[in-house]
Amino acid sequence: MPATRDLHELGQSLWLDNITREILDDGTLQRYIDDLSVTGLTSNPSIFQKAIGGSDGYDDQIRELLGQGLDTEPLFFELAIRDLQRAADLFKPIHEATDGVDGWVSLEVSPLLANDTENTITQAKELHAKAGRDNLFIKVPGTREGLPAIEELIFAGVPVNVTLLFSREHYLAAAEAYTRGVERRVAAGLDPFVCSVASLFISRWDKGTADVLEGDLKNAAGIAIGERTYKSFHEFINGERWAELKEHGAKPQRLLMASTGTKDPALPDTLYVTSLAAPDTVNTMPEKTLLAFADHGVLDGPMPLDGGDCEAVLVGITRAGVDLDALAERLQVEGRDSFDAAWHAMIADIAAKAEAVGKG
């Protein structure tokens, strides 16, 4: 039995952090569902840039869409939505069997809207309606401008994957935005169950501290931040506020561990999966990490509810010269900028493909 089954039985959802038309066409995604306990999927601009730019599998649809006179950005969303609709349909039985908690796919709003609340809300609603799938999240960054958009979208009944979270404080701000949206639905007499996940990025912490930390502290920041945030997540969803919301039929936002492929080749390739296993959470992992964990991964029990030794580790990291709050803010900005760059590169690739297909 692959170790992914053990993780699933522990209570953590395994989601694939990748989508290409190829893995849909050749049955790879279905095999991951059947054999490796994959129960969901995430995407982002970097993933779609590689998928579209590196394949001719989109050319026929691009040719079709060019005939409709679409500009490049709307053309991209048509390409992405078609892939994600197919993936959502594969996960639909899981979505139904878990009463809507699992079996999700994710589509991100344009990263160029990360600092634009009103247009984020507008585009998120339009994309969710266009996709027409109950098990499709709209990804919204947990930036200062994104937080009010998250609250408004939850109130409007649009399920949200909050992305670009890098600290306990980022998570709690996202959890507050989600909870306010749910509370407003309760007050308005609406169904309070609108699903959401909060995506905490892990590996970028260790990459961001690689030049500063040494010895036992090197590559320890990401896991410690994950443990600290999991402790706060558990406390938040089990507090009095959520006890009351649960009585109305609401279900808490789940914590999602993102960016869980190791960047340092000296590290075990399954490190972040083994270390961040926990029930009632999600781990979305790159295909390489998923296959590695299935092949030789080992579980070492769930994360401790009290955070284990994370605070001692983070004190040591602080004493070594790392300003945790400042680094979290920097990582969020860098993450946003990275998605911006991938977005522009992807749009350029699509434009080039469109020109080539049009000439053909």
Strand-pair partners of 105: 136
Task: Return the SS3 of 294.
Answer: helix
Residue 360 CB partners (closer than 8 Å, separation 6+)? 63
130 is catalytic: no
Residue listed under structure tokens 């706060």 = 232
- The pairing of strands 38-41 and 105-108 is unpaired
- H helices within the chain, ranges in order? 3-10, 21-25, 28-36, 45-53, 59-66, 72-97, 117-131, 146-155, 168-187, 203-208, 221-237, 240-247, 271-275, 287-296, 310-319, 324-359
**Which among 50, 92, 139, 353 is annotated as catalytic?**
139
26, with CB counted inside 10 A (0-12, 13-18, 19+), is exposed
For residues 257 and 284, the answer to whether their CB atoms sit within 8 Å is yes
Q: Is the distance from CB of 198 to CB of 171 less than 8 angstroms?
A: yes
Residue 139: burial class (beta carbons within 10 Å; 0-12, 13-18, 19+)? buried
Q: Side chain identity at 137, as an amino acid letter?
A: F
Sheet with 160-165: list strands edge to edge: 38-41, 13-16, 281-285, 254-258, 196-201, 160-165, 136-141, 105-108
For residue 173, give every residue at least 6 positions away whose Cβ sits within 8 Å of its Cβ, in sequence order, or none. Answer: 142, 147
CA atoms within 13 Å, Cβ hemisphere of 336: 21
**CA pair distance 172, 268, nearest whole angstrom:** 30
Which positions are catalytic?
Answer: 139
